Amino acid sequence: MAALRINSSLAVSLMFGLLLIILLAFALFFQLDMYWGLIIGIIITATIMLMQWAISPWIVEKATRVKYLKPGENVFLERMVSELCMEADVKLPRLGIVHTKTPNAFVWGRSKNDMRLAVHTGLLEQLNKDEIRAVLGHEIGHIKHKDAIVMTFISVIPLIAYMGAHMLWFGGGRSRDSGGIVAFGLLCLVIYLISQLIVLRISRIREYYSDAYSAEITKNPHALASALVKITYGLSLAPKNDKGQARSFYIADGISAAAEMKGISQRQSEYDLNGDGVLDERELELALEKESKRGRFSSIAEIYSTHPPTHKRVQALREIEREMRSGTFGE
């Protein structure tokens, strides 16, 4: 837990360090007074961040087609979320449902007092009570750590770098200071590529962090590991056009899930230990482990993913389970 906090803090600090480089370069290359150049850059950045913060809930709602629940419409879900929120000491989020067979869940919102939590009907149908509780604990962890808010703000930094990089094509060569514009554009292009990778890195770290929080609040890391295996399998079966919407908000990413399950489906007979034609939870866990040892899950592909590979998350949860048994968890 301590290592996750440190890594997340370092990555976020690095992101704002890159933003400062862009703002200083902006002032330098366009020969502005350094003080006023920074002030102008900060104002532009803050404006873009506030705009994204303001419209982000609307974007998520439209992308996921969430339907908000009325009080008493789903007592099971309301009661479970309420219990977890009380345990976590966070305000009860507005609850929603997405009517789709893919098993997933996500949170979003502008502040801790304006959070929303939605689950797919597929998750409620395919997971047992303990697994659903573990998934909800993971989502409450995102609320507790303000992850949706953090990701909304830091995702603006690659956008600003991308806008600066556009000067390579739309500004260079057509002004007296085209050399400065090209230099500024090239710097922004490099920062854009680096910052995109850092955003993805932060997203993966925060998934691990929320997994650990779910294990802590539910005292049942095995239930979340089991849920993640089922979710990965369920997402791999989803239609291609149902895998890419609001990927970073979900507990698991459909595109990564499909990639992880591809090798398993090709060698299903090898992993079907009891020969019943169906891979159960334990067989799927073993299959994920074996595929990772075969090198099927490329470390390069992981760098470009919003979520860690399922087998790594399961492995981390097993380690947490061992630490809980020995009384060393959280040290």
Non-local CB neighbours of 252 within 8 Å, separated by 6+ positions: 104, 228, 231, 232, 235, 307, 310
Lowest mean pLDDT among 21-30, 194-203, 311-320: 21-30
Encoding tokens for residue 278? 């169906």
Task: From 105, 178, 180, 171, select the one nearest 143 (Cα to Cα).
Answer: 105
> What is the set of active-site residues?
139
Convert the pLDDT of each residue in 8-19 to its tens digit. 788 888 998 998
Lowest mean pLDDT among 4-13, 188-197, 246-255, 273-282: 273-282
> For position 176, what pLDDT does the model report?
47
Residue 270 confidence (pLDDT) above 80: no
Report residue 283's pLDDT band, with 50, 70 and 90 as the boundaries: confident
C-alpha distance from residue 2 to each of 5, 7, 140, 205, 224 (Å):
5, 9, 19, 12, 20
Encoding tokens for residue 159? 């956008």
CA angle 198, 245, 67 (to 5 degrees): 125
Residue 44 confidence (pLDDT) above 80: yes
Q: For 283, what's the count of Cα atoms within 13 Å in the CB-facing half-sphere?
A: 17
Beta strands in 60-114 (DSSP E): 67-68, 94-98, 105-109
Report residue 277's pLDDT band, with 50, 70 and 90 as the boundaries: low
Q: What is the mean pLDDT of residues 15-34?
A: 83
The mean pLDDT of the chain is: 83
Task: From 59, 79, 70, 69, select the one nearest 121 (Cα to Cα).
Answer: 69
CA distance 22 to 29: 10
> For position 78, what pLDDT does the model report?
96
Lowest mean pLDDT among 9-23, 72-86, 134-148, 252-266: 252-266
Convert the pLDDT of each residue in 109-165 to its tens digit. 998 889 999 999 999 999 999 999 999 999 999 999 999 899 989 999 999 999 888
For 76, list phi and psi in degrees, rounded to 5: -55, -50
Fill in the DSSP letter of residue 307.
S
Look at residue 32 and give its three-state secondary structure. Answer: coil
